[in-house]
Structure 1
Amino acid sequence: MDSLAVQITEKIDVLINTKFPPAVKDKLDELEKTTKYKKAHIVGAVILIPVLLILALLGASRLIINLLGFAYPALQSFKAIDSKDSKTDTQWLSYWIIYGSFSIIEHAFVYVINAIMYFPIFKMGFLIWCYHPSTQGATTVYEKVLAPYVVPHLMSKVEHSD
């Protein structure tokens, strides 16, 4: 899956080198040196951020939040399937439990949630915290909440049903 990101970055680099005016290329080179971000990532952000803002202003904030909560985690989940590391499995399985729980809660309590003024921003921030590689919040939620409080009750229900 990383190869897809690399391919996209390479295509943007080709576009920058062949289609952009020299003054823009020079400015991108300067930005790349000062920010330590690749030129392709800078161009992608310059295009993507205004598009997301326009969509948000047009009322598509739920779509944006769901895309932010789905796209990167889905990509990482595909990578985790091929991985032998059980920590990545815990991270992404926990994330999808949290993501699914949000979906169920949102549908069940739609009127209450719509009354909570900053709920979409909270949800977006929480989901990003859950999946961001530096925080791995989903693993924290699993270790601090799910494993000690939820899993034992679910396992006792499963054992009683067998």
Structure 2
Amino acid sequence: MTKLWTFLSALHSIAGPVVMLLYPLYASVLAIESPSKADDEQWLAYWILYSFLTLSELILQSLLEWIPIWYTAKLMLVAWLVLPQFRGAAFIYNRVVREQFRKYGILKPKVQHQTQ
């Protein structure tokens, strides 16, 4: 049982960097090189949210270390943000971040230009 627990702990330690950094870096490069704008939005939104999450962790570190499942919960949240089936990063950006920026006047609504 000890070897299984050691293996699962190592797998958990590797999963974080792969899910949070390696795959998003790879997918971001592919998005930049593709003609579609939708994937650009997804990955730019991901990096905005990941930066916010990282900054929040730095500020709340002493509180978060008392939550034993924090790393697992963070890994699950980031997996939801990353996986293309869910497009969680674009969803959160459109529903939360954009609305908050508009609410406080930081972001102005887009104006459609008329062509003559």
Task: Give the TM-score range, shorter chain.
Answer: 0.7 to 0.9
Does structure 2 conserve the Cα–Cα contact (< 8 Å) formed by 1:52 and 1:64? no
Q: Matches of 2:77 and 2:6 in 1, distance apart?
A: 22
Q: Matches of 1:84 and 1:115 in 2, distance apart?
A: 45
Aligned pair partner of 2:54 in 103, 111, 118 = 103
Per the normalisation by structure 1, the TM-score is 0.56
Q: Matches of 1:130 and 1:138 in 2, distance apart?
A: 5
Per the normalisation by structure 2, the TM-score is 0.76
Closer, same or farther in 2 for the Cα pair 1:151/1:85, shift >3 Å?
A: farther
The aligned counterpart of 1:53 is 8
Q: Matches of 1:155 and 1:70 in 2, distance apart?
A: 28
The aligned counterpart of 1:149 is 100
Aligned pair partner of 2:66 in 107, 110, 115 = 115
**Offset, 1:66:** 3.1
**Offset, 1:101:** 1.1
Q: Matches of 2:42 and 2:59 in 1, distance apart?
A: 26
The code of the aligned residue for 1:92 comes to: W
Aligned length: 103
Residue identity (%): 24
Which consecutive residues of structure 1, in runs of 5 or more, have no partner in the other structure? 1-49, 157-162
Which consecutive residues of structure 2, in runs of 5 or more, have no partner in the other structure? 109-116
**Is the counterpart of residue 94 in structure 1 residue 49 in structure 2?**
no
**Offset, 1:53:** 2.3
Considering Cα pairs closer than 8 Å and 6+ residues apart, tell me whether 1 or 2 has the greater RCO: 2
> Normalized per residue, which structure has more helix?
1
The aligned counterpart of 2:112 is none
Q: Secondary structure at the match of 2:35?
A: coil
Map Cα deviations across residues 101-143 of structure 1 (whole Å, 9 max, x no partner): 1111111111111111211111100101001011010010011
- 4+ residue segments displaced more than 4 Å: none
